[in-house]
């Protein structure tokens, strides 16, 4: 299984452990003696022969492990897998956002493991550790030559146990020792911002434990805004129950959120069983117009949220078609701390659209028949494709690099220049300087030239570093990193403003929301924009309100031809 698919497989929509139901051990033995005795005998004989006679030596454990791998691969299910205890622990940390440690983010800067962020309310913050502290020792070990992973492995440990971390701090002669009691640390999955035009922006990077509560808190922080953008791009999913609670935050009570269709006994001949969930609470977003951003990495539980809001006409979806991981997975306990994950059903949106896109064992999409694409119709009359995943109402791709920018990155790679590391080092120092001065994020000329010179010293060709386009790209990257370093309390307003310079989907969302006061107006505006783009006409800002108003006077609000569009443009000329 490739790495991208493995990460998405780990981000399952059903993460609760299950038990193996069915026959008892004695029943299974009877089954083997009866129906499957021949196959079992052949398998064991082959296993023993390979162990005794094969030119390469294989241990029993290796052969059994490979047999299990073959069993999983033979299912043709790209998401089925057996996970080791270490993979299970890493997966749970990623999806919950929880781990046992001291509450810091560390990065290798200038060949030293450096504290780049201290999370408030956790042991390191309470003890007085600050950004910029360089970790030089952990317990009895010298850490001056450690990697970030080595430091992380040593600092983390069981909740309630102690760890001593020694740090070097600028202006202090001797290392400072901190004796800290490890605690559960939760890294929030939600960040938010208030953008121009009174538009609230919520970014959800995973559907983790407490994500719904964090989004609810963000909605309260953004209560004074007139519209919302919910960004689910690159969100691999997570917990089913959290995705349902997230959808519930934006919908009125008693609306269907999602459903599953599961297999039944093969011998029963019955249709697949179905289970559904409905909203229970009043919407926390009121009647604000909402846009949801998605892309090809939006998967699993995140697709459930996008699909529910789209089906109920509660959000306009912008971006690219989503990944299409619409499978129900059961996690089964195996001996020795391992777990088995298998697919047991499929997820469907409130209107019955399957979220699943078929893939082969390697994770590659299987061919689709575009001529037979099914559709569903929403309560407002909008027609939505139903071919797996969530189709955006308005397709807007990601920012693409210019040729000169690609050549810069290629030149840096050929020179083996650590572009990201140098960027992080310079940005961290600049962020510290601005924080001490109480100034907002920025990159002055001196800081930028220091960054460029560090790349020149690393062997990046001068013609690349002197090119105006490439310098502009480097400066944007550095500004972005500085803004991220200065993020406070998950408020990403400054970073989002910088991101807007190279984020077509978010820019389109803001442009549409500035011209729409209601969800209906937003759908009409998006329909006009889609037709204009189809006909090669980019939406004009001065004529936009009048064109949308004209479109709203007709039912449905579609522009049926280029002539209709030309007519609307001419009336406003």
Instruction: Quickly name the fold that domain 98-186 has.
Output: Pdz3 Domain (2.30.42)
* Phi-psi category of residue 414: left, alpha or beta, with phi > 0 → left and psi -120 to 50 → alpha: alpha
What pLDDT shows up at residue 26? 38
What pLDDT shows up at residue 12? 40
Q: Distance between CA 375 and CA 389 in Å, rounded?
A: 13
Higher pLDDT, 273 or 316: 316
- Give me the residue label for tokens 């559960």: 184
* pLDDT at 407 > cutoff 50: yes
Q: What is the mean pLDDT of residues 178-203?
A: 93
What residues contact residue 161 under an 8 Å CB cut-off, 6+ apart? 181, 182
Higher pLDDT, 432 or 93: 432
What pLDDT shows up at residue 177? 94
- Given a contact cutoff of 8 angstroms between Cβ atoms, the answer to whether 565 and 538 are in contact is no
What pLDDT shows up at residue 204? 96
* pLDDT at 101 > cutoff 50: yes
Strand 290-294 relative to strand 227-231: parallel, antiparallel, unpaired? parallel
Q: Determine the straight-line distance between the first and last CA of the chain, rounded to whole angstroms.
A: 57
Cα 188–chain centre separation:
13
- Given a contact cutoff of 8 angstroms between Cβ atoms, the answer to whether 346 and 326 are in contact is yes
Q: What is the mean pLDDT of residues 66-83?
A: 89
Q: Which numeric CATH code is attached to 1-35+75-96+189-362+378-397? A: 3.90.226.10
Question: pLDDT tens, 146-167?
Answer: 999 999 999 998 899 999 999 9
What pLDDT shows up at residue 266? 46
- Given a contact cutoff of 8 angstroms between Cβ atoms, the answer to whether 311 and 349 are in contact is yes
Q: What residue ranges in 145-234 does DSSP mark as E strands?
A: 162-168, 176-181, 183-186, 190-195, 199-204, 227-231
**Which tokens in the block code for residue 204?**
């959800």
Cα 13–chain centre separation:
13
Strand 227-231 relative to strand 162-168: parallel, antiparallel, unpaired? unpaired
What pLDDT shows up at residue 245? 97
Name the residue among 229, 169, 171, 172 with its Cα closest to residue 200.
229
Question: pLDDT tens, 506-564?
Answer: 999 999 999 899 999 999 989 888 877 776 666 554 455 555 555 554 444 444 454 55
Q: What is the mean pLDDT of residues 90-110?
A: 80
- The stretches of 156-223 forming alpha helices (DSSP H) are 211-221
What pLDDT shows up at residue 450? 96
CA angle 230, 506, 427 (to 5 degrees): 100
The CA-based dihedral angle spanning residues 267, 268, 274, 275, taken in that order and rounded to the nearest 10 degrees: -90
- Given a contact cutoff of 8 angstroms between Cβ atoms, the answer to whether 88 and 331 are in contact is no
- The 3-class secondary structure across 249-263, one letter per residue, is HHCCCCCEEEEEEEC
What pLDDT shows up at residue 477? 95
Q: What is the mean pLDDT of residues 427-441?
A: 92
Question: pLDDT tens, 463-499?
Answer: 999 999 999 999 999 999 999 888 877 788 899 999 9
- Give me the residue label for tokens 């952990």: 138
What residues contact residue 236 under an 8 Å CB cut-off, 6+ apart? 7, 8, 10, 11, 206, 297, 299, 300, 302
- Given a contact cutoff of 8 angstroms between Cβ atoms, the answer to whether 555 and 527 are in contact is no
- Given a contact cutoff of 8 angstroms between Cβ atoms, the answer to whether 398 and 411 are in contact is no
* pLDDT at 128 > cutoff 70: yes
**% of the chain at pLDDT higher than 70:** 84
Higher pLDDT, 545 or 421: 421
Q: Distance between CA 439 and CA 447 in Å, rounded?
A: 15
**Which tokens in the block code for residue 389?**
């995943």
- Given a contact cutoff of 8 angstroms between Cβ atoms, the answer to whether 164 and 178 are in contact is yes
What residues contact residue 360 under an 8 Å CB cut-off, 6+ apart? 76, 78, 366
CA angle 274, 279, 284 (to 5 degrees): 155
The Cβ of residue 277 has, within 10 Å, a number of other Cβ atoms equal to 20
- Given a contact cutoff of 8 angstroms between Cβ atoms, the answer to whether 339 and 332 are in contact is yes
Mean pLDDT of the chain: 85
The helix (run of H) or strand (run of E) holding residue 99 is strand 98-101
Q: Distance between CA 286 and CA 322 in Å, rounded?
A: 27
What pLDDT shows up at residue 391? 97
What residues contact residue 379 under an 8 Å CB cut-off, 6+ apart? 312, 313
What pLDDT shows up at residue 23? 34
The helix (run of H) or strand (run of E) holding residue 453 is helix 445-457
Q: Distance between CA 114 and CA 99 in Å, rounded?
A: 19
What residues contact residue 33 under an 8 Å CB cut-off, 6+ apart? none
- The backbone torsions φ and ψ at residue 290, rounded to the nearest 5 degrees and listed phi first, read -130, 140
* pLDDT classification of 16: cutoffs 50, 70, 90: very low
What pLDDT shows up at residue 545? 52
Total-model pTM = 0.80
Question: pLDDT tens, 311-355?
Answer: 999 999 999 999 999 988 888 899 988 999 888 889 999 999 999
Q: What is the mean pLDDT of residues 370-397?
A: 91
Higher pLDDT, 318 or 68: 318
Q: Distance between CA 444 and CA 152 in Å, rounded?
A: 33
Q: Distance between CA 424 and CA 422 in Å, rounded?
A: 5
Least confident of 21-25, 27-31, 174-178, 358-362: 21-25
Higher pLDDT, 18 or 93: 93
What pLDDT shows up at residue 373? 82
**% of the chain at pLDDT higher than 90:** 55
């Amino acid at each position: 299984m490739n790495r991208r698919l493995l990460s998405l497989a780990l981000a399952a929509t059903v993460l609760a452990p299950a038990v193996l139901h069915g026959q008892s051990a004695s029943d299974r033995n009877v089954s083997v003696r009866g129906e499957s005795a021949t196959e079992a005998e052949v398998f064991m004989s082959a296993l023993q022969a390979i162990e005794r006679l094969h030119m390469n030596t294989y241990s029993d454990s290796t052969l059994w492990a490979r047999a299990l791998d073959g069993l999983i691969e033979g299912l043709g299910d790209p998401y089925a897998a057996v996970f080791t205890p270490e993979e299970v622990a890493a997966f749970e940390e990623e999806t919950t956002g929880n781990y046992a440690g001291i509450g810091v983010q560390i990065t290798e800067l200038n060949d030293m493991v450096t504290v780049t962020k201290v999370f408030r309310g956790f042991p390191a913050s309470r003890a007085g550790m600050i950004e910029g502290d360089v970790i030089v020792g952990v317990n009895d070990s010298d850490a001056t030559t450690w990697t970030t992973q080595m430091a992380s492995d040593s600092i983390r440990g069981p909740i309630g146990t102690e760890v001593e971390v020694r740090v070097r701090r600028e202006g202090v002669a001797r290392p400072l020792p901190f004796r800290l009691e490890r605690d559960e640390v939760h890294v929030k999955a939600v960040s938010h911002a208030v953008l121009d035009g009174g538009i609230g922006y919520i970014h959800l990077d995973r559907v983790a434990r407490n994500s719904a509560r964090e989004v609810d808190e963000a909605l309260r922080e953004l209560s004074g805004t007139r519209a919302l953008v919910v960004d689910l791009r690159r969100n691999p999913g997570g917990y089913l129950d959290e995705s349902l609670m997230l959808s519930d935050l934006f919908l009125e009570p008693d609306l269907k959120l999602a459903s599953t269709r599961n297999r039944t006994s093969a011998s029963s001949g019955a249709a697949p069983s179905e289970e559904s969930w409905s909203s229970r609470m009043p919407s926390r977003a009121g009647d604000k117009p909402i846009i949801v951003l998605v892309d090809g990495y939006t998967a699993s539980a995140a697709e459930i949220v996008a699909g529910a809001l789209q089906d109920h006409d509660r959000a306009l979806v912008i971006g690219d078609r989503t990944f299409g991981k619409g499978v129900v997975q059961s996690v089964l306990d195996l001996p020795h701390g391992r777990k088995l994950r298998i697919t047991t059903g499929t997820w469907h949106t409130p209107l019955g659209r399957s979220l699943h896109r078929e893939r082969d064992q390697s994770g590659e999409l299987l061919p689709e028949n575009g001529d037979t694409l099914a559709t569903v119709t929403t309560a407002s009359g909008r027609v939505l494709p139903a071919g797996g995943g969530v189709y955006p109402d308005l397709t807007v791709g990601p920012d693409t690099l210019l040729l000169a920018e690609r050549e810069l990155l290629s030149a840096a790679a050929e020179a083996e220049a650590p572009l990201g590391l140098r960027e992080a080092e310079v940005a961290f120092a600049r962020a510290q300087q601005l924080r001490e001065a109480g100034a907002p994020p920025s990159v002055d000329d001196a800081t930028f030239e220091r960054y460029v010179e560090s790349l020149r010293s690393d062997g990046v060709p001068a013609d690349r570093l002197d090119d105006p386009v490439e310098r502009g790209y480097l400066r944007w990257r550095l500004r972005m990193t500085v803004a991220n370093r200065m993020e406070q309390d998950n408020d990403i307003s400054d970073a989002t403003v910088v991101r807007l310079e190279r984020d077509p989907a978010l820019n389109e969302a803001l442009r549409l929301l500035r011209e729409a006061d209601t969800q209906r107006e937003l759908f009409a505006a998006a329909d006009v924009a889609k037709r204009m783009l189809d006909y090669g006409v980019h939406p004009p800002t001065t004529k936009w309100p009048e064109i949308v108003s004209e479109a709203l006077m007709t039912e449905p609000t579609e522009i049926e031809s280029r002539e209709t569009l030309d007519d609307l443009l001419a009336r406003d000329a």
